[in-house]
Structure 1
Amino acid sequence: MSLDRAALLADTSRIGAAWCLAYSEQVDAWLAELFAAATDGSESGIALVAVGGYGRAELAPGSDIDVMLIHTGRNDVEQVANRVWYPIWDAGLHLGHSVQTSKQALGLADDDLDTATALLSARHVAGDSRLTAELGGSAHAQWTKRSKRWLQALGGRVDERHASAGEVAFRLEPDLKDGRGGLRDVHALRWAEMGDRVIADHDDPSLVSAYEVLLNARVELQRNSGRNNNLLNLQDQLGVAKNLGLASSDELMTGIAEAARTIAWTSDDTWRRIRSRMRGPLGRVGRRSKDVAPGITLRDDELHVDPALAAGDPLMALRVGVAAARDDVAIERESLELLATTPTLPERWTVEMRGLFVDLFLAGRPAIRVVEALDQRGVWTRILPEWLPVRAKPQHNAYHRFTVDRHLLEATANASALVDRVSRPDLLVMGALMHDLGKGLPGDHTEVGMTLVATLAERMGFSSDDAATLVAMVEHHLLLPDVATRRDLDDPSTIERVARQVQTTERLELLAALTEADSIATGPSAWSPWKAHLLAQLVDRVGQVLAGGEMSVITARSFPAREQLDALRDSGRLITGVDDLLTIMTDDRPGLFARVTGVLAMHGLDVLTAGVHSTEDGRALEEFRVNDPFREETPWARVTADIERALDGRLAVHARVAERARTYGKPSPYLAGSRKSAVTIDNNASADATVIDVETPDRIGVLYAIARALAEMDLDVRSAKVQTLGLRVVDAFYVRNQAGQKIEDPNMLEEIERAILYNLTG
């Protein structure tokens, strides 16, 4: 007796629920055979019961087989259990099992939520069917009797799970089962429904359809991976899409996002109504109804709309949205349905309409929930048709954590918290909402977005100057972060170029706030105290230029400091590491920068910035600001000792870095689909140096590999800036030849690019 899943796994005609049912039936038949052999045909007083997902006949390829062996006190129950369990383990399957009497199982279910919900799907597999029927009936009765208690516990579990697993609809790598809007949310609603009627009739069909989409994806994910995996990573998405007959991973993820939105919104709405019902009238004492606007009443923490006034007011959805966001309350369900039937909005916006739209987002983070609710009923895209192309649109790198539409809402919510930094809060939140709208259409998203926003701003009734500012915010939304993290802020050319592009102090303020809001919304690797420091330094210097400041004073170099130059005149070597700063003073020599970066790579230190200065009499000063991702305190004594050895030629730096890469370098599965390395050389970014930008997949020793290539080409590194964006490294190097000049020979520039790319791929 064995379970042969190969044919079923290879059967691509079955997907989703159909595949799960076929697999569950196959397991049923197998376990029934095992059970019959284990009991020698004597099945009275003992039953094998499927519970959980197996009980629902929803076994995915990697699912655990959850069963209970229910008995009435048979003496051979332990032997029967072993004869059933061991073949399952031998088959390499995960088994969730218990051996209990019905009384024991029900007693456990009386105190344990997981057991209580598992028994709600109890299904007979083999043995005495009377025991299974009694267990299932008693479990349902017990659940119903204690429904209020279980609903409170279940609702709390839903909240905890959402906080832990995040969003399904808006994450680039969603947890299909446990995330907000995932399969488990539907399970929770079904369990709640068994205790009390909670799901609205018109919600059930949409829940069924949405659940099917996620289950289809989960089955194919596990079919491809061969594991009990519910996290749909980037590298798995194309394979799942192909299995489901979809044209692209984008089509897959858009469908998943749509389904998860439906589940999440229905879940939130249902649990809000459940909790309101459980509080009862006494729980709502002090929450009297109040009119918040004509035709809009706040009652029981929900906004109710007067149908008579809504019928003639095309702006009612915006009025309700602003009120809901300001009071951070939900829109009552029937009122939300009513908003979907309000009159058509005017093509050209009135001043009142634009004011309401801006006020919605100035209300801050609660606006996100409002937009989600309006979007669920098709109201939001009636207000802003330009939203449709970015709705549920996935992004294509691990640097971003949200879909395009959710990223825009998150950025706008972040921007609303920064309005005290700008003179035009309205333009800040509108610029944040619009800055990536171009990602929904073909072409470069910035160029497309500029055209789109120019038209949109005119339709919204912004003045020509304000419209130009919004277009400029789209055009330059990456300017400040790119320059701050990739260019020398002590170089006058850098500051002058940014000042020319920004043009006014008002736009500089708006772009600075947008940069912070956008970066925080992007993901954890996009914003840090160090990036905030660089941005503040850049904004301050550009602001001084726009105010008429003297460039020579504004960009006076902080490196090297006068005391460093004085110390550098002394002969000998000085290597110090304090906090996050490494300083080296020594005799200049070819490859000095490369040797130091190699030692830093050996010790797992990430370089943020590097400054290099050399004198005519052959002395060199190098300063590195580093980040230690593994330790609270950097072991500078060991690091500086290894630098001493490397500079004396007593340390095999290249071999040591390669050894560390082999030991600790775990290739990310994302890198297979990551873009190749790219080198860009710019002779216009600086007046006295050639700027080399290198973008490459992140791995141990990347900076060292580039530094070795630059040393091979006899280039002096004047400064360097390094940043990691998700799984990509973006490094910038200011270099000069041995004569202290830019490199302008095209053949030489081509050889530099060749050397860098070889070291990165060789």
Structure 2
Amino acid sequence: MTPDGFREARAQLLKQGLPAERERLSLTALTDGWLQSLFEGPGALAAVGGYGRRELSPYSDLDVVLLLPKGAAPDAERLWYPIWDAGLALDHSVRTPAEAAALAGEDIKVALGLLDVRHLAGDPALTESVRTRVLADWRADAPRRLPELRDLGRERAARHGELMYLLEPDLKEARGGLRDLTALRAVAASWTADAPHDGLREAAAVLHDTRRALHRATDRATDRLARADRDGVAAELGLLDGETLLRRVYEAGRTVAYAADVTWREVGRVLDTRRGGRAGRAGRHSLGLRRRRGGPVPHPGQPLAEGVAEQDGEAVLAAGVRPERDPVLPLRAAAAAAQAGLPLSPHAAARLADCPPLPVPWPDEAREALLALLGAGPDALQVWEALEARRLVSRMLPDWERVRCRPHSSPLHRWTVDRHLLETAAHAAARTRRVHRPDLLLAAALLHDMGRGWPGDHAVAGETIARDMAGRMGFGKEDADVLARLVRHHLLLLTTGSRRDPEDPATLAPVVEAVGDAGTLELLHVLTEADALATGPEVWTDWRAQQVDALVERVGAVLAGDAPPPPAETVGAEEERLAVEAARTGEPVLTVRPGSEGAPSAEILLAGPDTDGFAAIAAGVLALHRVAVRAAAADVIDPLGQGPVAVLAWTVAADRGTLPAAARLRQDLVRALGGGLKLESRLAKRDEAARTPRPGFPEPRAVAVPGASATATVLEVRAHDGPGLLHRIGLALGAAGVRIQRARVSTFGADAVDTFYVLDPDGAPLSPEAAKAAAATVERELRGAPGARGGRGEPRESRTRA
């Protein structure tokens, strides 16, 4: 068959719409037959890697090795060129059997490929000699090679992340993906340990089927399940939508990752035993498999709780325990394991599935065990995974099934919804000393996003779920009401602190009403921090922590019947000095103060004419110099009694690592204020590529927020982050004829959410019509320009004082 003939036969096979497994086998058989027809010897042709395992997808590489007897002259190009002419990607090598075996002993990736060697054509004795030698060497050298294999997996996970938590996972390379399945087969081939088989075959089929559908949907070789490709892949698989697909992939990845964890623990025990040490302890330490984070390590066989003991570095069920008689045993065993920093053995988890369901409401012991499990912090995660592997969590908490492996739509979130809840609980566990009711804090952390599995506002749905689940767990009515309130308002402090002025009475009133009392405020404050930390590093920044702390302080004062603290002073001695110089010379002045050694930011202080465009022009100059604004404050003072001067204090960082000189910044600022520096054209030229609309990003929005301030009109602007956004918003508001009284700006990942307190030229709040017109002006400006102010970060509050 010619290359064109093979290509046509292959295309016809792929058009038949065969079931995935049958297509893989048929594609392998077709390819085998063609390569056999091409081979003319001497030697042998063998398939290795994924081709050797008969796992071909439409765009898989062909992994083959040409094995030659010692002294034979290779004529490999005669075999390789037809394959290339057929348009196939080829990973090939030419070796003698001895060379192949020797290289496998040196390079673990070569060894992994040859462990799956499969004869295709020529002398089968050559292929068999390689397979026998490589397997024998692999088993004999397992104490050295298996730790190397585990480290290779760790390095891969560090580069590619965990498949079950990524919005765009790599189906092959990420932890829990196809490479890990290959590693598990390699461990089994060493005769050292075998992976738990529960669900593993099904998980492997999901990953292979998804990869095959990805190749078909994209018509290219890729292993990354990109957001834009999800719906097409889902359609290939007959699934409802991309989210359903992603959840299915996450389930498979979690199964593979759990199997890998269990397998590597067993490898550690076996290798340690072979070395003559006490089974389990030293081996786990040498392989880096022990997850203990501190505290005493239990002695072997030491009881951990009623019916639970330590054995070989795992929590197991004690002899004589009757799981079918003890509904609390799953939570008691899980809490004991987590508190001891031990994994729950797979055998114990399997036996716990025989326990009867918990009565409703739960007995006190069950609720206390759950809280002890959550209170163990990070050590609870591996134990929870063991319960999840047997679906024990959903049996105890039926609403858990709706959030299990559910992806978050926001790229800010690092985890799936269920893992995010556990991460929040782990952060809360580290902060229980800051609250009077740590039990309510831990429970709220576990429940706060349970509404994600329901349509509509997840906080509203979550309030009902939290009240119901609190009753199921055995909390009293008052505690259930507090938990419901915490869940309903778990975003309140973060969003209010980031977007509203805490000194405005209209800001404090709704927060005071929602919180209700000091105890709930205390819990909500810590829950907010734990939730934000569990979301991702871009959410809980120093700036946001300061804003939330300030808001909590003022709300707490109101709840206690005291007056809120006075406003913070915004103009320091250096700012005052610059304002005097600007008033005396009539020109803008600025200074750059480097940050402390090793700090990524610096501070730029500016003073200049009190014009509506001064801050916007200054922001444009900084954007032109690729200076990212991290925080900002503004004031207007009259230092000499000769007229107002605007003072800006901005914390900044250079996108390219080095800040421009102060003299150059001042020179460009003077030119821009005088019209000599055409900021608009310069920014547009630099960011011309950003003008092309990118799919997946919503249009910028600007809206007036009724009742958000007692003294001004509040405009909220949402846009995709990018260069020059502050500059454009400032220009648009100036064009709308409004005055910025103060502003709060923040960035959540790629999205900017900026709030501006504005007045009309007479210093009064805008009329509804004027507010609507100003918002429309901002929208028009942003929709006609590059979306934003890349890397600008999030300034703190800016304030203009009359």
Decide: shared fold, TM above 0.5. yes
Aligned to 2:229, which of 214, 219, 236? 236
CA distance in 2, matches of 1:568, 1:263: 63
From the superposition, tell whether residues 23 and 759 of structure 1 become closer, same or farther in structure 2 (CA, over 3 Å). Answer: farther
Structure 1 residue 609, shift from structure 2 partner: 4.3
CA contact (8 A) 1:577 1:640 kept: no
What amino acid does structure 2 have at the position aligned with 1:389? R
CA distance in 1, matches of 2:232, 2:666: 48
Matched, 1:453 2:466: yes
Deviation, structure 1 residue 287: 4.4
Retained in 2: the 8 A contact 1:610–1:719?
no
Which AA in structure 2 matches 1:600? Answer: L
1:303 aligned to which of 315, 318, 330: 315
- For residue 568 of structure 1, what is the aligned residue in structure 2? 579
2:167 is aligned with 1:172: yes
Contact preservation (8 Å) 1:610, 1:622:
no
Q: Answer yes or no: is 1:254 the counterpart of 2:247.
A: yes
> Which residue number corresponds to residue 559 of structure 1?
570
User: What is the deviation of 1:213?
Assistant: 0.5
Asked whether the equivalents of residues 47 and 63 of structure 2 are also in contact (C-alpha less than 8 Å), the reply is yes
Match of 1:698 among 692, 717, 721: 721
1:703–1:147 Cα change, 3 Å: same
Q: Is the 8 A contact 1:582 1:625 kept in 2?
A: yes
Between the aligned partners of 1:184 and 1:599, the Cα distance in structure 2 is 49
Shift of residue 684, structure 1, vs aligned partner: 2.1
Answer yes or no: is 1:733 the counterpart of 2:756.
Answer: yes
Over 3 Å counting, the alpha-carbon distance change for 1:146 and 1:418 in structure 2 is same
Task: Give the deviation of 1:316 after TM superposition.
Answer: 0.6
Residue 136 of structure 1 is matched in structure 2 by: 131
Match of 1:748 among 754, 770, 788: 770
Select 1:66's aligned residue among 63, 67, 72: 63
Cα distance, 1:25–1:723 mapped onto 2, change above 3 Å: farther
Query: Which of residues 11, 14, 22 in structure 1 aligns to 2:15?
Result: 11
2:660 to 621, 629, 635: 635
**Preserved contact between residue 590 and residue 714 of structure 1 (Cα < 8 Å):** no
Q: Which moved more, 1:380-389 or 1:577-586?
A: 577-586
Name the TM-score, length of structure 1 as normaliser: 0.91
What do residues 129-163 of structure 1 show as CA deviations (whole Å, max 9, x unaligned)? 33223222322232233334333322333333334
Counterpart residue number, 1:153: 148
> 1:544-576 CA distances to partner (integer Å, 9 max, x unpaired)?
44344433xx13242245774675362322223
CA contact (8 A) 2:14 2:58 kept: no
Match of 1:577 among 580, 583, 592: 592
Partners of 2:141 and 2:574 lie apart in 1 by 76
Distance 1:705 1:102 in 2: 68
Spell out, residue by residue over 1:723-742, the C-alpha distance to the aligned partner (whole angstroms, 9 max, x if none).
22223221111211211221
Alignment partner, residue 625 of structure 1? 650
User: Which residue of 1 is the match for residue 300 of structure 2?
Assistant: 288
The verdict on how the C-alpha distance between 1:731 and 1:613 changes in structure 2, with shifts beyond 3 A counting, is: same
**Are 1:485 and 1:723, in contact at CA under 8 Å, matched by a contact in 2?**
yes
Q: Distance in 1 between matches of 2:44 and 2:692?
A: 48
Measure how far apart 1:624 and its partner are: 4.7
1:106 is displaced (CA, Å) by 0.6
- Cα distance, 1:114–1:402 mapped onto 2, change above 3 Å: same
Q: In structure 2, do the counterparts of structure 1 residues 492 and 644 end up closer, same or farther at CA, with 3 Å as the change threshold?
A: farther
Alpha carbons of 1:567 and 1:112: their partners in 2 closer, same or farther (altered >3 Å)? Answer: closer
1:470 matched residue in structure 2: 483
For 1:205-224, list aligned pairs within 5 A. 206-224=199-217
Q: Report the counterpart of residue 51 of structure 2 in structure 1.
A: 54
Aligned to 1:505: 518
Quote how far apart the aligned CAs of 1:677 are: 2.4
User: Structure 1 residues 736, 277: closer, same or farther in 2, change over 3 A?
Assistant: same
d(CA) in 1 for partners of 2:70 and 2:189?
30
Among 587, 597, 615, the alignment partner of 1:593 is 615
1:675-708 deviation digits (Å, cap 9, x = unpaired): 3322221242222221111112223333333222
1:596-745 paired onto structure 2 within 5 Å: 596-614=618-636, 619-628=644-653, 630-637=655-662, 638-662=664-688, 665=690, 672-744=695-767
Q: What secondary structure does 2:165 align onto?
A: coil
Residue 290 of structure 1 contacts residue 298 of structure 1 at CA under 8 Å; is this kept in 2?
A: yes
Q: How many residues align?
A: 745
**Structure 1 residues 89 and 576: alpha-carbon distance in aligned structure 2, compared to 1, 3 A threshold:** farther
What SS does the aligned partner of 2:321 have?
helix
Q: Under a length normalisation based on structure 2, what TM-score does the superposition of the two structures give? A: 0.87
Flag the 1:210–1:567 CA change in 2: closer, same or farther, 3 A.
closer
Name the SS of the counterpart of 1:724 in structure 2.
Answer: strand
Is 1:368–1:409's contact at 8 Å kept on the other side of the alignment? yes
Q: Give the whole-Å Cα distance in 1 for the aligned partners of 2:316 and 2:719.
A: 54
For the 8 Å contact 2:414–2:535, the answer to whether it is kept is yes
Is residue 170–residue 257 contact of structure 1 (8 Å, CA) maintained in 2?
yes
Cα distance 1:18–1:730, how it changes in 2: closer, same or farther (>3 A)? farther
Describe the shift of the 1:110–1:567 C-alpha distance in structure 2 as closer, same or farther (beyond 3 A). Answer: closer
Q: Is the 2:362–2:472 Cα contact (8 Å) retained in structure 1?
A: yes
My pick for the range that moved more, 694-703 or 364-373, is 694-703
**Which residue is equivalent to 2:285?**
none
- Contact 1:610-1:624 within 8 A present in 2 as well: yes
Q: Which blocks of at least 5 consecutive residues in structure 1 are unaligned?
A: none
Percent identity between matched residues is 37
SS of match in other structure, 2:60? coil
Contact preservation (8 Å) 2:374, 2:429: yes
| Residue 16 (structure 1) shift | 4.0
After superposition, the C-alpha distances for 1:382-421 in whole angstroms (9 at most, x for unaligned) are 2111211111111212121211111111111111111122
Contact 1:400 1:522 (C-alpha < 8 Å) held by counterparts? yes
Kindly provide the amino acid, as one letter, of the partner of residue 675 in structure 2: G
Deviations 1:659-687 (A, max 9, x none): 22126x4979xx52233322221242222
Deviations 1:198-220 (A, max 9, x none): 336xx436211110101111122
Q: 2:93 aligns with which of 98, 103, 126?
A: 98
Contact 1:608/1:624 (8 A) holds in 2? no
2: CA distance, partners of 1:421 / 1:177: 43
Distance in 1 between residues matched to 2:535 and 2:645, nearest whole Å: 39
**Contact 1:541–1:555, Cα closer than 8 Å, also in 2:** no
> Contact 1:568–1:619 (CA<8 Å) still a contact in 2?
no
Distance 1:27 1:707 in 2: 63
Amino acid in structure 2 at the alignment position of 1:258: E
Distance across 2 between alignment mates of 1:643 and 1:229: 48
Range with bigger deviation, 428-437 or 264-273: 264-273
CA gap 1:235/1:722 in 2 versus in 1, 3 angstroms: farther
Q: For the residues of structure 1 that align with 2:465 and 2:501, how far apart are their CA atoms?
A: 33
Give me the CA root mean square deviation.
2.6
1:534 aligns with 2:538: no
| CA gap 1:30/1:148 in 2 versus in 1, 3 angstroms | same
2:704–2:772: 8 Å Cα contact kept in structure 1? no
Q: 1:65 to 1:704 in 2, by over 3 A?
A: farther
SS at 2:121 equivalent = strand
User: How far is the alpha carbon of 1:511 from its aligned partner?
Assistant: 1.6
- Higher mean alpha-carbon deviation, 503-512 vs 335-344, is at 503-512
Deviates most, 124-133 or 468-477:
124-133
